[in-house]
Amino acid sequence: MTRVAHRTFARAVLALVFLPASLLSAQTVSGRWLLDFDSDGSIQLTLRQRENGHGNWSSSDDYRLEDFKGLARPQGSAEAPAVFEMVRDAGTIHFEGQLNSTGGSGRFTFTGNPAFSAELQKRGSGKPNRDELFSLAVHDVSLALIDELDKLGYHRVPYEDLLSMRIHGAGPNFIRSLKALGYTGLSTDDLVSMRIHGADPDFIEELKGLGYSDLSADDLVSMRIHGATPEFAKAMKDLGYGRLDPDQLVTMRIHGVTPEFARDVKALGFHNLTPDDLVSMRIHGVSVEFAKKVKARDPQVTVDDIVSMRIHGQS
């Protein structure tokens, strides 16, 4: 995912209808809520907003009881009136509705905090409008988070990036764990991309164990996207291909070169094949069965010969 795509995604998550935040009425968002109490003590909360038929907004996430003020789990199946709040730096979400021991539903009203919006602007993070402020509250983008990021070297981070980092878990803990592995100065887009695609510390440590200690964030993300896992790298190494570079591993995965394919081709008597040979065979549809048939007819045939036969439609 490109850096422009990350920005576009963040803005799409924020809101669909943008109104001036300077008006008091523009600081209020209302909609419906649905809540489920889970057996592990967590709370599944879904918020839905639709305004005058012009747009829809929906968010669903897990929360803790302590994330709310005035919320208690009722006993029994009988529904009872409920009033509670979620208080964030960006504003307060006020909930009213009905609850029983399993959950409930009702309506919510969000009132933005103009002081938070002004503080973001003062710190160089931009000035969110009403709907953006609502998303910042839902995902708990706080001044404490901004302070912590600032201490880690991330200054004047745009609020769109702050939101994306919160949504995907690319926060201070993730940054510190990467720093411990030698990854410093990564951009916010790199951090989010790594989280989205699972290029996490465990993945990095496994690769380091195989001798891959100098991979860039782009290398790590590309390997995760295309399934060039530590297991794949090790399997190819065990077949005699040594330490293949990330681009080679990714290219092999893109074109369907598997350890099984490499092993089967080698068993036919095709030795010392390069990664490019294997990729070329897969690109041009040289199957193990086809190679075996041709090899039976001509024991001296080469991989280049077989690939040429496939290119020219020979069987």
Which of 265, 277, 207, 198 lies closest to 237, judged by CA? 207
Q: What local confidence, expressed as pLDDT, does residue 10 receive? A: 43
Q: What local confidence, expressed as pLDDT, does residue 11 receive? A: 43
In the numeric block, which tokens belong to residue 111?
A: 């009132």
Q: Is residue 232 part of a domain?
A: yes
Q: Are residues 83 and 111 in the same domain?
A: yes
CA distance 125 to 131: 16
In the numeric block, which tokens belong to residue 185?
A: 């100065």
Q: Is residue 185 part of a domain?
A: no
Q: Is residue 187 part of a domain?
A: no
Q: Are residues 78 and 208 in the same domain?
A: no
Q: Are residues 114 and 223 in the same domain?
A: no
Q: Are residues 164 and 266 in the same domain?
A: no
Q: Final residue of a domain: which of 168, 185, 208? A: 168
Question: What global pTM score does this model have?
Answer: 0.84
Per-residue pLDDT of the chain (315 residues; tens, 9 = 90+): 444 444 444 444 443 333 333 434 456 899 999 999 999 999 999 999 987 655 678 899 999 999 999 999 999 999 999 999 999 999 999 999 999 999 999 999 999 999 999 999 999 999 999 999 999 999 999 999 999 999 999 999 999 999 999 999 999 999 999 999 999 999 999 999 999 999 999 999 999 999 999 899 999 999 999 999 999 999 999 999 999 999 999 999 999 999 999 999 999 999 999 999 999 999 999 999 999 999 999 999 999 999 999 999 998
Residue 19, domain extent: 3-168
Cβ neighbours of residue 297 under 8 Å, at least 6 residues apart? none
Q: Are residues 137 and 227 in the same domain?
A: no
Whether 98 contacts 105, CB under 8 Å:
yes
Q: What local confidence, expressed as pLDDT, does residue 233 receive? A: 97
Q: Are residues 13 and 134 in the same domain?
A: yes
Q: Is residue 175 part of a domain?
A: no
Q: Are residues 260 and 242 in the same domain?
A: no
Q: Are residues 43 and 60 in the same domain?
A: yes
Q: Final residue of a domain: which of 168, 183, 211? A: 168
Q: Are residues 82 and 230 in the same domain?
A: no
In the numeric block, which tokens belong to residue 9?
A: 């995604």
Q: What local confidence, expressed as pLDDT, does residue 56 receive? A: 79
Q: Are residues 102 and 151 in the same domain?
A: yes
Q: Based on the structure, what is the number of domains in the chain?
A: 3
Q: Are residues 44 and 8 in the same domain?
A: yes
Q: Is residue 217 part of a domain?
A: yes
The angle formed by the CA atoms of residues 65, 164 and 51, to the nearest 5 degrees, is 75
Which of helix, strand or coil describes residue 235?
Answer: helix
Q: Is residue 212 part of a domain?
A: yes
Phi, psi of 58, rounded to the nearest 5 degrees: -145, 140
Q: Is residue 239 part of a domain?
A: yes
Q: Are residues 215 and 102 in the same domain?
A: no
Q: Is residue 191 part of a domain?
A: no
Residue 154 region by backbone torsions, left for phi larger than 0, else alpha for psi between -120 and 50, else beta: beta
Per-residue pLDDT reduced to its tens digit, 96-133 = 999 999 999 999 999 999 999 999 999 999 999 999 99
Task: Show contacts of 55-61: CB within 8 Å, 24+ apart.
Answer: 55/15, 55/16, 55/17, 56/16, 57/15, 57/16, 57/31, 57/131, 59/135, 59/138, 61/138, 61/139
